[in-house]
Each structure stands twice: as structure tokens, then as C-alpha cells.
A and B are shown apart, each in its own frame.
Chain A
Amino acid sequence: MSVTTRGLKVAYGSNVVIDDLDLAVSTNEWLGVLGPNGSGKTTLLKAIAGLVGSSGSITVDGSTHRELGRKSLARRVAFVAQDPVIPTGISVVEYVLLGRTPHLSYLGSEGKDDIEVARSVMETLFLLPFANRYLDDLSGGERQRAVLARALAQAPSVLLLDEPTSALDIGHRQRALELIGSIREERPMTIVAAMHDLTLAGQFTDRLVLLAEGAIAADGMAVEVLTAANIARFYDATVEVIAVDGGIVVVPVRGPRP
């Protein structure tokens, strides 16, 4: 499903976080959203998920949030928070099954089909061995996969990921992104992911947008967006961008010692 915003504006009180933002994400595209801290990445994702009030328009496959309603929206769009609340004392499978909520009636509970969906998602994410373990007993990487599994259990067409790898080490980061890549082959979906690691963002996504102060500062392929000049200007960072086989690498460079 495609996602489009037109003149999107989000403000917390008098603090305008997203201002007049036009963005189009095509069906089954993986869009990486970059930008320094406070540039509005999380707010953009939350606005698309319908979790913060906004003006302007957001459409998912041509329908606005209002037309869809919260429940239908949740069947189409899943959101993985950067720092998800991990409830204590519930098992991984119970947690993943919470992702079935938009497919249940208001007071309903999970049936066989829902358990089958959870099983299949957990298989894809290599979580079956942990199914009956407590969520809060898992390692960071396993927990991250469990949160992803809960989102996939929604059977979404659009997956919003807020810095999905920020709590992981470099190996787990790569594996998590590879996993997301392989999931797309099995279950095609549109991904909008706020990302911190510029090199990985360049390697894994189809397209990048760079946010600065709530507006799009650059939009395009990795080589077009991840330039030393852009990164210097918007991140206030000194980097070297090196072309390697099949992509580019962003390397921080230490400035002259004081």
C-alpha cells in the first residue's frame, strides 16, 4: 500500500515539529527516514500511524485516517516504537497475539486462526523456541524480534519502524535489517523506517529522505542523499563518504585535535 502526506503539519502546543511536509511512499517500497535528533522522524511515523493529531492530509492507499477509522487503520499500518513498553510476566506468544487486536471484535479474544498467524510470524522471526518464555527474560535482540513479531501479527501492509536497531550491537543490527529485508520477500509490504545508522540505511533501504526541522531537506537514492555536504550541514558532523561495492559507507572523521 502507498502512503502519501500532503501539507502535513504536526505541532505540540506552539512547537511545530512537522511543517508542510509532502511525502509519497510507493507500494512495497522501503523508505529510510534520516535526520538529526529532534528533526521530526518519530513524529512523522506517529502521524502516519494516527497516534498524534495532525493537520493536512495523510492517506494510506488513497484513504484518509478518518475514512478508515482506528481499527481498519491498525489492520493496514503497524507501528514499532523505538523504546517499546515491555510488559512483565507475559510470554512471547501472548505478547505476539496482542498484535491480533485490530482483527478481533471489541470484547473478543484470539481464536485458532489468530494463533496460526502468530505461529507463522514467530517462525519467520525465529521466535518459536522462545514462544513460552517470558518477554522480559529475553535478550535485547530477541525482544526486538518479539516486538517486530507483534507488529507483523497485525498483518499490516505498511510497517513503521522507529529506529528499529538503535538498542542493538553491530552484528544484531545487521541481522535485524537482513531479517526485515527477507520478510519483505515473503510478505511484501511498505516500510517506513526512521534510521540512525547512515551506512546501514544506505545499504538496506530503497530510498532515503533526510528531515531537518520538520521538513524534507533531501530525498532520493543513498548516493544522492548521503553526501558529505548534506551530513555536514544537517547533522553538523564531519564525515567522509566512501563508495564501496554495492553502496556507500559513511565514516566519521575526527577533526583536528584542539
Chain B
Amino acid sequence: MALADASELRAARLRWGWLGIALGCLTAAVLLGATLGPASLPPWQVIRELIGSALFVGDASELTDTQQSILWQLRLPRVVLAGLVGGMLSLAGASYQGVFRNPLADPYLLGVAAGAGLGATVVIAYLPAASASLLPVAAFAGAVLAVLVAYLVGRSVGGRSSITLILAGVAVAAFFTAVQTYLQQRNTETIRQVYSWILGRLSTTGWSEVLSLLPYVAACSAVLLLHRRLLDVMSVGDAEADSLGIRSGRVRAVVVIAATLGTAAAVAVSGLIAFVGIVVPHTVRLMVGPSYRSLLPLSMVFGAVFLILSDLAARTVASPAELPIGVITAFIGAPFFVLVLRTSRRYIA
């Protein structure tokens, strides 16, 4: 195969076809999530209602008032929250894997989970009265603090190299987890509550969680998505990326900050939902290749789809009881990932 001219040469770019498929899946997932539940809503009327409200045509559907409030006050906030959390965790995981050139990196790599866990435990154990309002704030603060400490420790021992940063993250996570476990043991009556928080759950009271998470997801994902080509450049290693005129330490810092803030905000409202940030990006990588120009946007959309569907399973499978969503993500995600791994032409890690 001899290539004659530049028209047959292409830069790595966003695969629009895949993005179309991803957005189609997202639409389907939103509709399923909005219609299915203890009280099923008629899908066609839900579609009419949604299109009607998008076009500002009042009362386009024949949903009853009760059905309307189920849709607008219960189902949709929860579906949107699942989408935001899933998209953010998955995008953050893909970004971490890029800047650390490590396929095992996930959004909790630098201590977000341990820090958020400690923050949540402190509130649950010592400020139970205010726990509803303070818990997300404390979890967010703990997560950011843990990563900040990991970053400072990493820099003080080994500059900005990625391996010292990862190891500092491991040390900080272990330390925060130790403190968290100690506090938990001292307050055994709260173990159940702490444990349920750690397993992750998406519960909403109207749109307030969505509204508090949305700005973080919007800002952080914009920053991360804009860095998608630079993450491709980072794949050649720090020294060579520097020789190409970028400052790899600075790019890593910016990406880590954006991914951490986004993850911390997601974790603050959802608890520690495992698995999304590592399995979704790898599945996408197996489908479309390793270029971050496709990987980041597609990971975000498929992460949203994955968590919306997982949440749907969590609240319908054992209805009226609700399963912890972390259990579902692993239960669906693990076999699915193995399936993708088996059928993929080549594993890229």
C-alpha cells in the first residue's frame, strides 16, 4: 500500500461516528431511566413531555400531575445526577490514565477516596445533626486535601515525576484511611452509616444535588476535554514531551487539579462509586483506540450511560429495596469488561 498524497493521511481526531452512537445510547439511557421504576411512566408520553418542555410548549403530554411530578422531581434529577457523576468519574479516570501513563490509574489514585471517606466519617461521627448539609462539603474538602498533601509530598521528594506522585498518593491514602478507620472504630454506632456512604448511593432531593454538582462538572470537564491533544503528546514520555515544547509537569498539574476537583465534587454527592473510572475508559479504548482525542469525550458520555443504567438496575432489581450502586457497577461492569477484553483485537494498555 503506497500512499500518494496527504489526503490519505489523518491526524488522530474525534471519531464523530462513535460520538453519535454514544449520544444515541445516552438518549436511550435517559429515557429508560426516566420511565422505569416502581411506578412506570408511559414512554411515549415521557418523550412528548420532554420534547414539549425543551421547546417550551406547555402540557405537550397526557401525563397526570402525579406522573409529571414523579418525572420532574424524582426520576429526572436522579438520572441527570447519575449521568453527571458517571461522566465525571469516567472522564477523570481516563485523564489520570493519560497523565500518569498508567492503565491502572483511576480517579481515586491520589487519595480522593480516602480523603473523602475521612471527611464523611468525621461528619457522620461527630456532627450527626448537621450531616445532611455538611457531609458533601466535608467529603469534598477531605478529597481535595488528600490530593493536595499527596502532591506536595510528591514534589518535595521527587520533583514532578509521575511515579513519585503516585507513590505519594499511595502513602497519603493509607494514612487517611488509617485515621478514618480509627475514627470509625471509636464510634462503632455509626459504622453502618459510614459503610453505606462508602458503597456509594445516588439519592436526590429534587434538583439541589444536580445544581451543586453541575458547575464543577462543567468547568472541570471543559478543562480536561481541551487538553485531549496534549494528553496524546504526553504519551511519548515526560522528557520527549518537553522536547516537543510543552511543560509536561505543568500539564500534569492542570489535568490533575481539574480531574481531582471534578471527582471530589462527584464523590461528595454520590459517595465512593468504584469501577466507573477505570472500566469505562478501558472499554472505550478497546473500541476506538488510545488517542485521547476520542477517548476523553467518549469516556465521558459512555460513563454517563453506564451509571444511569447501573442506577436503574440498583433501584429496580430488588424494588422496593434499593441496592448499593457500587455493587451494581462492579456486578455489571466486571463481566462486561471481560467480554470486551475477550473480543477486542488487541489490548492497548
Which residues of A are at the interface with B, using a C-beta cutoff of 8 A?
Answer: 46, 49-51, 70-75, 77-79, 81, 84-85, 87-91, 93-95, 97-99, 101-102, 104, 106-110, 112, 114-116, 118-119, 122, 128-129, 131-132, 150, 154
**A115 and B6 in contact, given A70-B245, A74-B244, A85-B235 (Cβ under 8 angstroms):** yes
* Inter-subunit contact B236/A116 (CB<8 Å): no
* Inter-subunit contact B233/A94 (CB<8 Å): no
- Interface residue from A46, A91, A112, A154 paired with B244 (Cβ < 8 Å): A154
- Interface residue from B12, B237, B243 paired with A90 (Cβ < 8 Å): B12
Q: A70-B245, A89-B348, A90-B291 are in contact. List 5 more A-B contacts (CB 8 A).
A: A72-B245, A93-B11, A106-B230, A109-B11, A128-B2
- Interface residue from A70, A71, A98, A131 paired with B232 (Cβ < 8 Å): A98
Note all chain A residues with C-beta closer than 8 A to B242. Answer: 50-51, 70
* Inter-subunit contact A116/B6 (CB<8 Å): yes
* Inter-subunit contact B289/A87 (CB<8 Å): no
Note all chain B residues with C-beta closer than 8 A to A115. Answer: 6, 9-11
- Interface residue from A51, A97, A118 paired with B239 (Cβ < 8 Å): A51
* Inter-subunit contact B6/A109 (CB<8 Å): no
Q: How many angstroms between the C-alpha atoms of A162 and B9 in the bound complex?
A: 29
Note all chain B residues with C-beta closer than 8 A to A88. Answer: 290, 348-349
- How many whole Å from B116's CB to the nearest CB in chain A? 30
* Inter-subunit contact A112/B6 (CB<8 Å): yes
- How many whole Å from B345's CB to the nearest CB in chain A? 10
- How many whole Å from B263's CB to the nearest CB in chain A? 22
Q: Does B240 contact A (CB under 8 A)?
A: yes
Q: How many angstroms between the C-alpha atoms of A88 and B232 in the bound complex?
A: 11
10 interchain residue pairs of minimum CB distance: A74-B245, A102-B245, A85-B237, A89-B348, A87-B235, A79-B243, A101-B244, A110-B11, A71-B245, A89-B290
- Interface residue from B227, B285, B291 paired with A107 (Cβ < 8 Å): B227
Q: Does B15 contact A (CB under 8 A)?
A: no
* Inter-subunit contact B290/A101 (CB<8 Å): no
Note all chain A residues with C-beta closer than 8 A to B5. Answer: 119
Q: How many angstroms between the C-alpha atoms of A99 and B232 in the bound complex?
A: 11
CB neighbors of A among B225-283 (8 A): 226-227, 229-230, 232-233, 235-237, 239-240, 242-247
In the assembled complex, 17 residue pairs joining A and B whose CB atoms fall closer than 8 Å, in A order, are A49-B243, A70-B245, A70-B247, A75-B245, A81-B240, A84-B240, A85-B235, A87-B235, A87-B290, A89-B285, A98-B244, A109-B11, A109-B13, A109-B293, A115-B9, A119-B9, A150-B236
Q: Does B342 contact A (CB under 8 A)?
A: no
Which residues of B are at the interface with A, using a C-beta cutoff of 8 A?
Answer: 1-3, 5-6, 8-13, 226-227, 229-230, 232-233, 235-237, 239-240, 242-247, 285, 289-291, 293, 346, 348-349
Note all chain A residues with C-beta closer than 8 A to B230. Answer: 106-107
* Inter-subunit contact A81/B233 (CB<8 Å): no
**A128 and B3 in contact, given A70-B246, A81-B239, A98-B236 (Cβ under 8 angstroms):** yes
- How many whole Å from A101's CB to the nearest CB in chain B? 4
Complex: chain B residue closest to A88, CB-CB? B348
Q: How many angstroms between the C-alpha atoms of A150 and B246 in the bound complex?
A: 15
- Work out how many contacts link A and B, with CB atoms closer than 8 A: 110
Note all chain B residues with C-beta closer than 8 A to A90. Answer: 12, 232, 235, 289-291
Note all chain B residues with C-beta closer than 8 A to A77. Answer: 243
**A99 and B10 in contact, given A89-B290, A90-B235, A90-B290 (Cβ under 8 angstroms):** no
Complex: chain B residue closest to A97, CB-CB? B11
**A129 and B245 in contact, given A46-B239, A107-B227 (Cβ under 8 angstroms):** no
* Inter-subunit contact A97/B12 (CB<8 Å): yes
Which among B6, B230, B291 has the greatest number of chain A C-beta atoms within 10 A?
B6
Note all chain B residues with C-beta closer than 8 A to A70. Answer: 242, 245-247
- How many whole Å from B293's CB to the nearest CB in chain A? 7
* Inter-subunit contact A93/B9 (CB<8 Å): yes
- Interface residue from A74, A110, A112 paired with B243 (Cβ < 8 Å): A74
* Inter-subunit contact B6/A98 (CB<8 Å): no
Which among B6, B237, B243 has the greatest number of chain A C-beta atoms within 10 A?
B243
Note all chain B residues with C-beta closer than 8 A to A108. Answer: 229
Note all chain A residues with C-beta closer than 8 A to B291. Answer: 90, 94
Note all chain B residues with C-beta closer than 8 A to A128. Answer: 2-3
**A99 and B244 in contact, given A88-B290, A131-B9 (Cβ under 8 angstroms):** yes
- How many whole Å from A143's CB to the nearest CB in chain B? 13
Note all chain B residues with C-beta closer than 8 A to A154. Answer: 244
Q: How many angstroms between the C-alpha atoms of A104 and B229 in the bound complex?
A: 11
* Inter-subunit contact B346/A101 (CB<8 Å): no
* Inter-subunit contact A93/B290 (CB<8 Å): no
Q: How many angstroms between the C-alpha atoms of A255 and B290 in the bound complex?
A: 53
